[in-house]
Amino acid sequence: MSDEIKNLNNETAAQTAPKATDATAAPAKPAAASAAAAKPAARPAAPAAPAKPAVNELKPRRVEADKLHEEMKRLHDEGMDFLLNLVGVDREDDGLAVVYQVENTTTGKSDCVECVVTDRENPQIPSVTDLWDIAHTYEREAYDFYGIVFTNHPDMRRLFMREDWVGFPFRKDDKTEENNPLRMTNEPLADVTTEYHLNEDGTVTPVEHTIFDKDDYVVNIGPQHPSTHGVLHFRVALEGERIRKIDPVLGYIHRGVEKISESMTYPQTLALTDRLDYLGAMQNRHALCMCIEQAMGVEVSDRVQVIRTIMDELQRIDSHILFFSCLCQDMGATTAFLYGFRDREKLLDIFEETCGGRLILNYNTIGGVMADLHPNFVKRVKEFIPYMRKNIQEYHDIFTGNVIFQNRAKGVGVLTKEQVISFGCTGGTGRASGWHNDLRKLHPYAAYDRVKFNEVVRTEGDSFARYMIRLDEILESLSIIEQLIDNIPEGNYREKMKPIIKLPAGKFYSEVEGSRGRFGVYIESKGDKSPYRLHYRSTGLPLVAVMDTACRNHMIADLITIGGTVDYVVPDVDR
Could you read off the pLDDT of 225-257 as tens digits, one per residue? Answer: 777 777 888 999 998 889 999 999 998 899 889
Quick: pLDDT tens for 352-393.
989 888 888 889 999 999 999 999 999 999 999 999 999 999
Quickly state the pLDDT bin for 54 (edges 50, 70, 90).
low
Tell me the C-alpha distance between 321 and 345, whole Å: 10
> Do residues 279 and 162 both lie within one domain?
no
455 and 332 in one domain? yes
Q: Is 97 within a domain?
A: yes
**pLDDT at 268 (0 to 100):** 92
CB 123 within 8 A of CB 96: yes
Question: Residue 312's closest CA among 268, 393, 269, 369?
Answer: 369
Evaluate whether 308 touches 288 at the Cβ level (below 8 Å). Answer: no
41 pLDDT higher than 60? no
Based on the domain organization, do 153 and 288 belong to the same domain?
A: no
Radius of gyration of the chain, Cα coordinates, nearest whole angstrom: 25
Give the Cα separation of 219 and 217 in Å (integer).
7
pLDDT confidence of residue 121: 87
Residues 497, 376 share a domain: yes
Question: Is 353 in the same domain as 444?
Answer: yes
pLDDT of residue 5: 40
Q: Are 459 and 409 in contact (CB under 8 A)?
A: no
How many C-beta atoms lie closer than 10 Å to residue 477's C-beta? 24
Residues 281 and 166 in one domain: no
Residue-wise pLDDT for 467-505, tens only, equals 999 999 999 999 999 999 999 999 899 888 888 999 999
**Which CA distances in Å does 430 have to 80, 434, 463, 510, 547?**
17, 7, 12, 20, 13
Higher pLDDT, 284 or 223: 284
75 has a pLDDT exceeding 50: yes
The CATH code of the domain that includes 107 is 3.30.460.80
Domain's final residue, options 132, 160, 180 = 180
207 pLDDT band (50/70/90 cuts)?
confident
- DSSP secondary structure code for residue 555 in this structure: B
Q: What is the mean pLDDT of residues 276-303?
A: 91
Neighbours of 69 (CB within 10 A): 20
pLDDT at residue 202, as a whole number: 78
Question: What are the phi and psi torsion angles at 277 (to 5°)?
Answer: -85, 100
Q: Which of 561, 148, 552, 162 is nearest to 331 (CA)?
A: 561
Range scoring the smallest mean pLDDT among 33-37, 380-384, 550-554? 33-37
HEC string of 407-424 equals: HHHCCCCCCCHHHHHHHC
Which is more confidently placed, 23 or 403? 403
Residue 426 — pLDDT band, cuts 50, 70, 90?
very high
Q: In angstroms, how far is CA 196 from the centroid of its own chain?
A: 30
More confident residue, 575 or 320: 320
**How buried is residue 455: exposed, middle or buried, by Cβ count under 10 Å (0-12/13-18/19+)?**
middle
* Mean per-residue pLDDT, 117-141: 93
| Banded pLDDT at 52 (limits 50, 70, 90) | low
Give the contacts of 1 (CB within 8 A, at least 6 positions apart): none
Whether 230 maps to a domain, the answer reads no
Look at residue 441 and tell me if it is in a domain: yes
Whether residue 473 lies inside any domain: the answer is: yes
Instruction: Give the strand pairing for 124-126 and 149-151.
Output: parallel
pLDDT of residue 462: 93
H-type alpha helices, 60-126: 65-77
- Which of 264-278 are b and which e, b meaning 16 or more Cβ less than 10 Å from the residue's Cβ? bbbbebbebbbbbbb
Domain contains 407: yes
Residue 297 lies in a domain: yes
HSE on the CB side for 66, CA within 13 Å? 5
- Cα diameter, the chain: 92
d(CA 331, CA 468): 16
- Of the candidates 180, 212, 241, which is a domain's last residue? 180
Residue span of the structural domain in which 119 resides: 57-180
pLDDT of 61 higher than 90: yes
Classify residue 504: in a domain, yes or no: yes
Residue where one domain finishes, among candidates 161, 180, 199? 180
| pLDDT the model gives residue 53 | 58
CATH of the domain at 291: 1.10.645.10
Q: Name the pTM for this structure.
A: 0.86
Whether 37 is in a domain gets the answer: no
Q: Are 263 and 381 part of one and the same domain?
A: yes
Lowest-confidence pick of 20-34, 174-188, 309-323:
20-34
> 170 with 304, same domain?
no
Residue 175 shares a structural domain with residue 269: no
Same-domain status, 537 and 388: yes
Within this chain, do residues 160 and 291 fall inside the same structural domain, yes or no? no
Band of pLDDT at residue 197, cut at 50, 70 and 90: confident
* The predicted structure's pLDDT at residue 237: 93
Q: Which residues contact 47 (CB under 8 A, 6 or more apart)?
A: none
Rounded to the nearest integer, the mean pLDDT of the chain is 86
Residues 268 and 149 both lie in one domain: no
Integer Cα distance of 62 and 342 in angstroms: 53
DSSP character at residue 397: I
Inter-residue contact 326 to 332 (CB < 8 Å): no
State how many domains the chain has. 2
